[in-house]
Amino acid sequence: MTVAKTLMNYLKERGVVYEMVEHPHTATSMETAHAAHLPAHQIAKAVVLKDSAGYVLGVVPANHQLEIEWVNEVLGRSLEMAEEKEFAALFTDCEVGAVPALGEAYGIQVVWDDELIYTSDVYIEAGDHEHLIWLERRDFRKLMEGLPHSIISKDDEVGCWKY
């Protein structure tokens, strides 16, 4: 697998140019940063949350920890972490655990962290554990335009690789 078909179509429809970055198989976003030789703050990690109203995708830098309480304040909801088995059916063309940070492609509400505004390049999961999609900042911002954003995470200093 490379780029999930849903994701590829979404980017094409929006006229976004992207490049693929291949890396050895990884299980976490921090491992991905290390394997791909990228700064962790440039990888946009997707965290799936849920409540009675449905799912929300929180998008934060890989070296950050999403703060659910902060997301709840921003959105006025009572979200909690969703388990992979609960939301796997939403991402049918993705491998389990390789959720792309573009929830709108899958019809899922997104809230993103302001920290991602400051990075020149953004990398997102392509839908498997061996590929990333590289986006220029302007294209990432274009894709996130109009979506709720705020400071929704804090730096997770445990296990961070610094470049």
pTM of the model: 0.92
Domain ranges of the chain: 5-155
Segment 55-63 shows an average pLDDT of 98
Q: Residue 43: what pLDDT?
A: 98
pLDDT score of 35: 96
Helix-, strand-, coil-residue percentages of the chain, each rounded to 5: 35, 30, 40
| The CATH number fitting domain 5-155, selected from 3.90.960.10, 3.30.930.10, 3.40.190.10, 3.40.50.1980 | 3.90.960.10
pLDDT in tens, 140-153: 999 999 999 999 99
Mean pLDDT value of segment 102-107? 97
- Token reading at 91: 């991402």
Q: How far is CA 119 from the centre of its chain?
A: 14
CB-side exposure of 16: number of CA atoms within 13 Å? 25
- For 148, the token pair is 């709720």
Question: Quick count: other Cβ atoms within 10 Å of Cβ 93?
Answer: 16
- Calpha distance 99→4 (Å, rounded): 10
Average pLDDT over residues 44-67: 98
Taking all residues of the chain, what is their mean pLDDT, rounded to a whole number? 94
> How would residue 8 be classed by pLDDT, with cut points 50, 70 and 90?
very high
